[in-house]
Structure 1
Amino acid sequence: MISLEEMNYINKYLLKSGERLDLPNNIISSNPIIEIKIIKQTERTYRVVGLLTLMANVVEESPFAEDLIDLGFTPKKKIQLNEHDSNTIKWFNLGFIMKEIRLKRDGKTVDTQHFRMGYRLYTYQQNRLRAQEEKLEQNFSSWKTKAKSFFPSTIIEMTNQRDRGVAACLSIINEIYDMDVDQLKECQAFPSGWSLSKRFKFLHFIAAFIQLGHQKYDFDWKEIGASYYQEIGGSKEFDRYKDDFINQLEEWAQCPVALLGLTSLGKITPLYFSGQITGRYSAYRYGPVHSLTDLSISEEKYKTDSTTLWLVENRAILTRIAAEKDFLEETNTLILCIDGHLRSSHKHCIKQLLTNGNILQVLLWSDYDPDGFHIAKEMYLTVKENHHGSIKWIQHSKQVLDTWQEYEVYMQDLLKDQRIEQEQVLGGVEDWRKWINH
């Protein structure tokens, strides 16, 4: 016989609005296969709209059909299977799937036929999800326990910049301490696209990094995992996400990892620009294209007297506009080249310029493709946090938009059938002036 729990499952996931099950009164206990009518009844009509065929009284000790997982069944999903196939028969007999037939308006003619997730498969998936959630809770608890060892008895003397970077990371970690797993899933301190398992892995990475940083002034990438896991293969534990984890660490620390003690990466991140910038140790005037580095940005406090900040995605745009004699100086414009996705040092420099300078407006210009759209959003979110003046976006038609909402709708429509690079709509001095003066 069919259980109350199975009935509730069918009512919730398989039936449409206004439908109900019509259980047969003469179910033969020796026959494990049950056929149930799906009916739709109103004050005037009583109509059979479908049939459900399922296996009842399944022995729960029978093994789970692992080969069923690849089909991707969900409670709402309908899947076409060959009902005479040996696997289909096996899955049906074990109660993992049920057959649903939908009838035409005459209540007799078959309209569609497909298989649905059975109650036994549903309960198996729910149990597995609960087990996974318990494992995640244990993982999170384990990380919290390990994180308490951030402060060993012997702590080496650190530079001011290193202290600030570590303190910034610990500030975020302290907020995460009080979260549960569900809150961690939505935590804004991580990129939105990161899975929960990747977030957990990064938490272990940051614990390992800070722990090792307290023990040694300089250390290599491989030492981070090796010292943390203390087992064969530990040095490779974080290799899969190396670039992502380094970028995220720099985002949290607001400085390059080289200043936090990580050596031998051999990488310096440049920020190309043209215009007027001054710092404590350097000064740049209008003229050629210059570059700052992630190391100099972390040590400097840059500012500008320019009133327009222009962020572009591609170097070719930067070099073309910078080559136009006196244009940037006459329009009092500083132009920065993001050169791909924003790095933490880029964000830090933009924040410095917006906070310390006299920027009245910011122009954002990126490619008209999915990556360019994503970069435009990264630029906008960085600028928005530190700027209360005008923000503008350049359309491929050489028109200007004044709000992110307008630009978002424009790009979503454009990307349905077009991909355009900045260089294709570069324009000339008159266009650039029009955009600045818009």
Structure 2
Amino acid sequence: MQRAFLEATFLKKGETIERVEEIDGLFVFHIIKHTARRYLRVAQFKIAKKIVGQLEIPKEIRALKFTPKAKRNLDVFNIENIYEWLQAGWIVQETRYNADGMTVASVDYRMGPAYEQALQYKQQQTLEVEQEHIKQLEAKSKQLNLPIIFKQAMVDEQLPLNWSFSKRLRYKEFCLALYALYEKKGLYDFKEIGASLYDRIGGSKYFDVHREEFLGQLAFSGIDVSLYGLVSTGKIVSIHFTGDVEHPYAKYTIGAVHATTDNAVYVAPFSTTNTTLWLVENRAILTRMAVEVEFLKQTNSCVVCLDGQIRSAHRAFIEQLEQTKIKQTIIWTDTDVAGITIAKHAAEIIDGPVKWIGRDFEVYDVFQLFEQAHVGRAHEQEQQLGGVEQWMKWI
């Protein structure tokens, strides 16, 4: 076993084991490398003769964070500890020689076979726990009688490729907990989703680290969380805009930059008498357009800032406005990869006519043409702010 471990993990190309000795309860492997002219003595490895059956890695060894390629200097530890770890198989001593094959170039310690076994055992345990977790989620899903849109939102193929397995599981937990709360009490706060799953101190924070991603993924899947009882995300999300906009508890007019919150969006719908909706990526564009009061009045425009991404609150706000008097939507973003993605997702919210603003003041009414025209042509909105005369042409 030790020989196979050494050959598979540490030997370099062209290196072979010349001979093996047994010294003080350890195997000593002598490593050579064959060149065209001679055999070179290149290294020596000391490995435990008998591997411990213990599967809990000692705290001091675990803190060293070994990987198959990692090398560690253990000078801070006393020789008794090092020898004990060597004999147990937690570590391997690697001695490398200089080109003369005699003088020592370095002495390092590396992950031992016992360490590898413990990692494999832990991975197997994790896999078993995850499999059990999957079964529990599937059972809960059947109990809840989830709508088709939720079932589709939880399919792995619909989730971001860069999400880990554990993150996908947590997202599915989130979806089920959210819908369970909706069925149970109708209205709830974001913090209640985690608290409903884990009846302990800190349970309410279980989903906090993924709050924006998970809510955004639900919105991307076509799920309006406000329709499923979420009245607050547990964190204030601001939405900046200018326009003639009304809410049951507030009224806004053209002439200043206004701000509302996600809570207001989820409590009751917003409406507008404006007919042209501008969706801009950056706040600088919003503030520039907001000072052109006569232009906004003449064109009956409302401008909403996405602040670099489309959160669920922004999506809900835009959907509410779009369902009133809006006749056309103009989307103005950067033309880098992120900006084009935002432009695409923004258009998916809109039912009516859409235009995209590209480089050199070009306007597009087909997204594919807008996307193709900007491959390798990243451009910030601020590089072509233009003015009233130019904006009028786009309308």
Same fold (TM over 0.5): yes
Q: Which residue number corresponds to residue 213 of structure 1?
A: 182
Q: Measured at CA, do residues 276 and 168 of structure 1 come closer, stay the same or move farther in structure 2, by a change above 3 Å?
A: farther
Which residue does 2:50 correspond to in 1? 57
Q: Which residue number in structure 1 is paired with residue 11 of structure 2?
A: 15
Please say if residues 244 and 253 of structure 2, whose CA atoms lie closer than 8 Å, have aligned partners that are also in contact: yes
Are the structure 2 counterparts of residues 225 and 115 from structure 1 closer, same or farther at C-alpha, using a change threshold of 3 Å?
closer
- 1:261 corresponds in structure 2 to 229
* Alignment partners' CA distance in 2, 1:404 and 1:352: 33
Residues 38-437 of structure 1 aligned to structure 2 (within 5 Å): 38-60=31-53, 64-82=57-75, 84-151=78-145, 168-173=149-154, 175=155, 188-189=158-159, 192=162, 196-219=165-188, 224=193, 233=199, 237-242=203-208, 244-245=210-211, 248-249=214-215, 251-252=217-218, 254=222, 257-263=225-231, 269-274=237-242, 287-290=255-258, 309-312=279-282, 314=283, 318-324=286-292, 326=294, 335-339=303-307, 342-347=310-315, 358=328, 362-364=332-334, 379=342, 382-383=345-346, 391=358, 403=374, 405=376, 407=378
Q: Is the 8 A contact 1:270 1:291 kept in 2?
A: yes
Q: 1:192 to 1:219 in 2, by over 3 A?
A: same
CA contact (8 A) 2:218 2:225 kept: no
Cα distance in structure 2, aligned partners of 1:322 and 1:23: 81
* SS of alignment partner, residue 150 of structure 2: helix
Q: Relative to structure 1, is the Cα distance of residues 305 and 66 closer, same or farther in structure 2, using a 3 angstrom cutoff? A: same
Cα-to-partner distance string for 1:227-268 (whole Å, 9 max, x where unaligned): 656xxx358534332474487247425566454234577877
Distance 1:250 1:379 in 2: 12
Q: What per-residue deviation string (whole Å, max 9, x for no partner) do you get for residues 315-354 of structure 1?
A: x652244214556689998643234653113245668999
Q: What amino acid maps onto 1:171 in structure 2?
A: Q
Structure 1 residue 137, shift from structure 2 partner:
0.9
- For 2:34 and 2:300, the matched residues in 1 are separated by 74
Displacement after TM superposition at 1:273 (Å): 2.4
Question: Distance in 2 between the 1:70 and 1:247 partners?
Answer: 31
Letter in 1 for 2:205: D
More strand by share: 2
Q: Tell whether the 8 Å contact from 1:311 to 1:335 is kept in structure 2 after alignment.
A: no
Question: What SS does the aligned partner of 1:71 have?
Answer: coil
The whole-number CA distance in structure 2 between the counterparts of 1:211 and 1:145 is 13
Tell me the secondary structure at the aligned position of residue 37 of structure 2.
Answer: coil
* TM-score, length basis structure 1: 0.64
CA 1:285–1:248 in structure 2 vs 1: closer, same or farther (change >3 Å)? same
SS of alignment partner, residue 47 of structure 2: strand
Tell me by how many angstroms 1:17 deviates. Answer: 2.1
The answer to whether the 8 A contact 2:331-2:343 is kept is: no
Instruction: Quote the Cα distance in structure 2 between the aligned partners of 1:378 and 1:75.
Output: 39
Q: Report the alpha carbon displacement of residue 147 of structure 1 after superposing the two structures with TM.
A: 1.9
Range moving further from structure 2, 82-91 or 125-134: 82-91
TM-aligned CA distance change 1:330 to 1:221, over 3 Å: closer
Give the distance between the partners of 1:113 and 1:377, measured in 2 at CA.
53
Amino acid at match of 1:122: E
Letter in 2 for 1:35: V
**Structure 1 CA distance for aligned equivalents of residues 304 and 128 of structure 2:** 47
Looking at structure 1, the residues matched to 107 and 149 of structure 2 have their Cα atoms a distance apart, in angstroms, of 58
Q: Which residue of 2 aligns with 1:180?
A: none
Helix, strand or coil for the counterpart of 1:40? strand
CA distance in 1 between partners of 2:106 and 2:148 (Å): 62
Distance 1:211 1:307 in 2: 36
Residue deviations 1:208-227 (CA, integer Å, cap 9, x gap) = 33223223334566765666
Shift of 1:170: 3.6
Per-residue Cα deviation, 1:62-91 (whole angstroms, up to 9, x for no partner): 975233111100111111112744332221
Q: Is the 8 A contact 2:72 2:108 kept in 1?
A: yes
Distance 1:353 1:404, change over 3 A: farther
AA paired with 1:343? Answer: R
RMSD: 5.0
- Unaligned runs of at least 5 residues, structure 1: 153-165, 176-183, 366-372, 395-401, 412-421
**1:93 to partner: Cα distance:** 1.9
Q: Give the aligned residue type for 2:35.
A: T
Distance 1:301 1:325 in 2: 20
Call closer, same or farther: CA 1:37–1:389 in 2, change over 3 Å. Answer: farther
Does the residue aligned with 2:63 lie in a helix, a strand or coil? helix
8 Å contact 1:20–1:39 — kept in the other structure?
yes
Distance 1:391 1:352 in 2: 26
Matching of residue 37 in structure 1 with residue 15 in structure 2: no
- Is the alpha carbon distance of 1:168 and 1:301 closer, same or farther for their aligned partners in structure 2, counting shifts above 3 Å? farther
1:48–1:92 Cα change, 3 Å: same
Structure 2, unmatched stretches of 5+, are: 362-372
Moved more, 260-269 or 7-16: 260-269
Point out the more displaced range, 375-384 or 119-128: 375-384
Opposite residue 172 of structure 1, the aligned amino acid is: A
